[in-house]
Chain A
Amino acid sequence: MSQPSSPDDEHYESLAVKAVDGQLSAEERAELDALLAQSSERAAELEDFLSIKETTDAMTQRILTTARIEPPRVGRGARWIQRSSFLALLFGALLLCGYGTYHLFVDPELPPVVKLATLVGMSGLFALFSYALTVRLRATGKDPYQEIDR
């Protein structure tokens, strides 16, 4: 991609961009007219830019005719239900895991290898949960506009 060769070119580029986007002031309009009067190449280029904009505007309108835009379906009540359900599920799972693990360890008939496997498995689950929680807490308070939300 070529870079502007001079401040004049940069100025023209800025004016041309604004002209296509309909954001020229009267003063800038006069400046651009003066620049275009000196260069038929630039005048042709700007005409083509405007033609492209006209076409993309028509394409946009065509797409918008198919739009059925409604407010989001998830309301505050639904979000509260989601969060409380998640917390209830999490709490229940932790309670069951803890209860089951305790009974496994106090059962004298179970071989030590089963107890060891249970201990390792529970440790892994706890580590994964802690990691997920840490990542979530670290994300809190960061600039949401820089975060990739999925």
Chain B
Amino acid sequence: MRAAVLCTMGEGIEEQLGEAMRRGYVAAYRWLRHPDQASDACQEAAARVLAHRGRFDSERPLYPWFYRILKNHCFDRLKAKKRFVGAEVEIADPKGTVEAEAVVVERQLAVRRGIEALEPPLREIIELRHFQEASYEEIAMILDIPAGTVMSRLYRARRALRAVLLSDPDGSGAALAGPRPHGDKA
């Protein structure tokens, strides 16, 4: 179930901000590992965007700007609290869950470990594309790289992640299990 996007502030930047907050929440959650802190961080970033709304360029997507502010805010929080990023609350312990659910959880844990093992540039592009639904254009703006480089870096990141998962001693490639017909719908 997706969280409802609240767009009650009017037209324009506010509507885009509602969507940016929903996407940014996932990023904030993955950094801060706490729903309340992630919500607060999104609120803070949105308030800063609105405080500087005069600088918003309506010809360009809002999300890269929002993401940059949100990221800095979350990292400041992490530095202030000296919290360990890997402290996980998002995924349940597979022990005690039913078998089918345990398989799913194991797979998610393996993917999480795999992503954390990637080099930072590859990890960030995976986070942006897979968890925040950032478009190729937005990724290019956020990472400050040419649009053409986005595709190749994304491919390299996915390939590196696959290699990590195949060699994962705990997961034993479990995250890659399940043959399916290839298609353009993920």
Contacts and interface: CB of A to CB of B under 8 A. Distances in A.
Interface string B138-153: 0001001000000110
Interface size class of A (residues with CB under 8 A): 35 or more
Interface residues of B, number: 77
Given A69-B5, A74-B47, A79-B51, 5 more contacts: A51-B178, A53-B130, A68-B35, A144-B55, A145-B141
B177 A51 contact: yes
Contact of B29 (A10, A16, A45, A66): A66
Contact of B175 (A20, A55, A64): A55
B83 interface: no
A13 B151 contact: yes
A52 B64 contact: no
Interface of A: 1-2, 4, 10, 13-14, 16-24, 29, 32, 36, 43, 45-74, 79, 144-146, 148-150
A64 B131 CA distance: 10
Contacts of B21: 69
B155 interface: yes
Nearest to B162: A48
B107 interface: yes
A13 B185 CA distance: 17
B22 A54 contact: no
A50 B65 CA distance: 29
Given A65-B3, A69-B22, A47 B179 contact: yes
